[in-house]
Amino acid sequence: MKGQQGIGRPSWRSVVSVFLCLGLAIASLSLGNITPALADGVTEAELSEMTELWKGSAHALSEINCSSCHQDSETEAFVQKPNYESCQSCHEFETDTFLLGKHGIRLNEGQSPLTPAKARLAMKPEAHSKQMNCNACHNVHSVNTYEASVDSCLTCHNDQHSLNYETSKHAELFVAEGVLPRPSSASVTCATCHLPRETHQETSGGDVLVNHNNTYTLKPRDRMVSEVCMNCHGMEYAYNSIFDNELVESNFAQPPKLHLKSFDMVRVLRDKREGK
Ligand code: HEC
Ligand code: HEC
Ligand code: HEC
Ligand code: HEC
Ligand code: HEC
Ligand code: HEC
């Protein structure tokens, strides 16, 4: 891991051993006699909150513990605030795709992270200096994907399309279907359309992984139709919805009114071919 923050700060050495031991102690669930003297500027209450979140996470279940992310793999140094590189070795596909989209491209090019202050689209004023990284959407200790799918997006995004989602039929489905820990595949979240799930045949179990490139389904627009909408809707319904800018702006608040002529042409051609 390179480019981590927090390495070389004067007080880290004193923290390392206590911190890593604490991690191990927590991993074996014997917090008992450890004094949590801790990382820079982190209170005991904050630490125990992070620990509680981690205990209930998919990571704790898979024995991914504090040091899996907080220890530099080469130098074994303690890292107080790990960045995306700490996730990369285990989540290569998610990281690689993140780095290709609008959200991650600046990091990919070695620039400072994207912030809402740099945006053309409307953003929440209080989020202006929030830096884009895995932790912008994931609480890195709970790694709760349910919160990541809508709530996290709305900490930054403030345009009409984004705000209108919450009153859509799709949002109703999400609320009704909301099965923890992962959002149900029968619901539609911001991520369903913008960070689509993909089945990876090359892995033994045909793993379903999330494509984190948030530009991917936008260009060309047809891509969202085939990769997302058509899992649930017919092609014509989906095209008539996606090419209606007002309907997109309203975040699909009603059935499509648009009537793309090309579908009529296809029907005429088909009828001709079938000799009707
Ligand atoms: C999946 C990786 C991962 C695991 C596992 C993990 N952390 Fe973290 N932790 C992070 C990341 C990433 C950050 C930086 C978050 C940020 O920059 O806001 C962080 C931040 C912190 C901080 C610093 C917060 C601050 O504001 O300076 C503390 C303390 C901490 N974690 C404690 C723990 C403890 C204790 C455990 C084990 C119970 C743990 N972490 C497990 C990834 C992890
Ligand atoms: C040492 C390997 C390792 C590291 C490092 C790691 N993870 Fe994970 N992560 C896992 C494993 C294993 C799972 C569980 C996979 C499963 O259940 O299919 C997981 C699951 C997840 C999930 C899904 C949670 C759920 O409820 O299904 C998210 C989100 C996640 N990790 C994010 C991160 C982020 C963000 C980082 C870096 C801050 C990170 N991980 C670092 C191994 C790791
Ligand atoms: C830390 C703030 C932040 C969070 C959290 C965030 N975004 Fe963004 N997003 C941005 C910024 C900034 C841009 C760039 C906007 C611009 O340039 O006008 C952006 C751009 C986008 C774009 C347009 C991509 C393109 O190529 O034009 C989409 C789609 C998007 N975000 C979806 C999401 C979704 C879905 C979520 C939640 C799963 C999310 N964002 C979470 C800040 C954020
Ligand atoms: C049913 C699918 C769907 C859902 C759900 C959805 N979007 Fe979108 N989103 C779209 C489509 C389609 C576009 C327009 C693509 C285009 O302009 O070519 C879009 C565009 C965007 C853009 C780029 C706007 C621009 O002008 O560049 C952002 C940002 C965005 N969505 C964020 C969100 C957020 C945040 C949520 C959840 C609160 C969300 N979307 C929910 C389908 C969806
Ligand atoms: C724009 C918000 C956003 C950012 C940034 C983000 N994620 Fe995610 N991630 C999500 C959402 C939402 C889901 C769940 C989507 C779903 O299940 O439908 C998810 C799911 C995951 C999963 C579980 C699904 C899988 O593919 O195994 C992992 C692991 C993960 N993210 C890792 C990462 C890592 C690593 C980074 C940083 C390189 C990152 N994420 C950055 C929003 C984000
Ligand atoms: C996981 C399944 C699923 C996906 C994926 C999905 N939808 Fe839907 N959509 C639904 C369901 C279910 C309804 C509600 C139908 C109803 O109540 O009549 C709905 C409703 C709609 C409506 C009508 C809303 C209303 O108020 O009547 C539109 C328009 C729509 N979807 C467009 C899209 C578009 C465009 C996409 C792709 C970008 C998409 N949907 C993706 C399941 C899905």
Rounded Cα–Cα distance for residues 160 and 167 (Å): 12
Spacing, Cα 89 to ligand 2 middle (Å): 10
Cis upstream peptide for 220 (omega within 30°): yes
- Pocket test of ligand 3: the residue of 111, 153, 165, 193 to mutate, having most ligand atoms within 8 Å of its CB, is 153
Same structural domain for residues 100 and 215? yes
The Cα 237–Cα 55 span in angstroms is 44
Are 64 and 26 within 8 A, CB to CB? Answer: no
215 and 166 in a single domain? The answer is yes
Is 260 within the bounds of a domain? no
C-alpha 161 – ligand 2 centre gap (Å): 30
* Count of structural domains, the chain: 2
Compute the distance between CA of residue 7 and CA of residue 4 in angstroms, rounded to an integer: 7
The 3 state secondary structure assigned to 197-234 is EEEECCCCCCEEEECCCCCCCCCCCHHHHHHCHHHCCC
How far apart, in whole angstroms, are the C-alpha atoms of residue 134 and residue 140?
A: 8
- How far is it, in rounded angstroms, from Cα 237 to Cα 19? 55
Q: Are 48 and 100 in the same domain?
A: no
Q: Is 231 in the pocket of ligand 6 (CB under 6 A)?
A: yes
Contacts from 21-24 at CB under 8 Å and sequence distance 24+?
A: 22/66, 23/65, 23/66, 23/67, 23/70, 24/65, 24/66, 24/67
- Do 122 and 210 lie in a common domain? yes
Could you list the residue range(s) of the whole structural domain that residue 44 is in?
A: 12-82
Last residue of a domain, which of 219, 249, 269?
Answer: 219
Residue 66 located in a structural domain: yes
The closest alpha carbon to 81, from 1, 16, 4, belongs to 4
Question: Can you give the pLDDT at residue 203?
Answer: 65
Pocket test for ligand 5, best of 145, 155, 203 (most atoms within 8 A of CB): 145
Same domain, 72 and 161: no
Residues 100 and 207 in one domain: yes
Nearest CA-CA partner of 142 in 34, 6, 50: 50
The residue type at 133: N
pLDDT of residue 6: 36
Residue 139: CB atoms within 10 A of its CB come to 15
- What pLDDT is attached to residue 119? 97
For residue 273, the model assigns a pLDDT of 85
Give the binding-site residues of ligand 4, using a 6 Å CB cut-off. Answer: 121, 150, 153-154, 157, 161-162, 165, 170, 188, 190, 193-194, 218, 221, 224, 242, 248, 251-252
Q: Ligand 3: does its nearest atom lie under 6 Å from the Cβ of 102?
A: yes
Does residue 190 sit within a domain? yes
Tell me the β-bridge partners of 5.
Answer: 81
Closest ligand (CA of 210):
5
The closest ligand to the CA of 221 turns out to be: 4
Kindly state whether residue 112 falls inside one of the protein's structural domains: yes
pLDDT the model gives residue 267: 83
Please, are residues 104 and 38 in contact by the beta-carbon 8 Å criterion?
no
Q: Is residue 212 part of a domain?
A: yes
Report the C-alpha gap between 174 and 150 in whole angstroms.
10
Q: Which atom of ligand 2 is nearest to the CA of 135?
A: 35
Nearest CA to 55 among 66, 70, 45? 66
Strand partners, 198: 209
Sites in the chain below the pLDDT cut of 70: 1-38, 203-204
Q: What local confidence, expressed as pLDDT, does residue 13 receive?
A: 39
DSSP secondary structure of 83-110: -THHHHTT-HHHHHHHHHSTTTHHHHTT
- Residues 204 and 123 reside in one and the same domain: yes
Q: Point out the ligand nearest to the CA of residue 92.
A: 5
Tell which one of 170, 179, 182, 189 to mutate to probe ligand 6, the residue whose CB is within 8 A of the most ligand atoms. Answer: 170
Kindly tell me the number of DSSP H helices and DSSP E strands found in the chain.
Answer: 16, 2
Residue 194 CB–ligand 3 contact under 6 Å:
yes
Q: Is the CB of 64 under 6 A from ligand 2?
A: yes
**Which pLDDT score, from 0 to 100, does residue 5 have?**
39
Q: So what's the pLDDT on residue 271?
A: 85
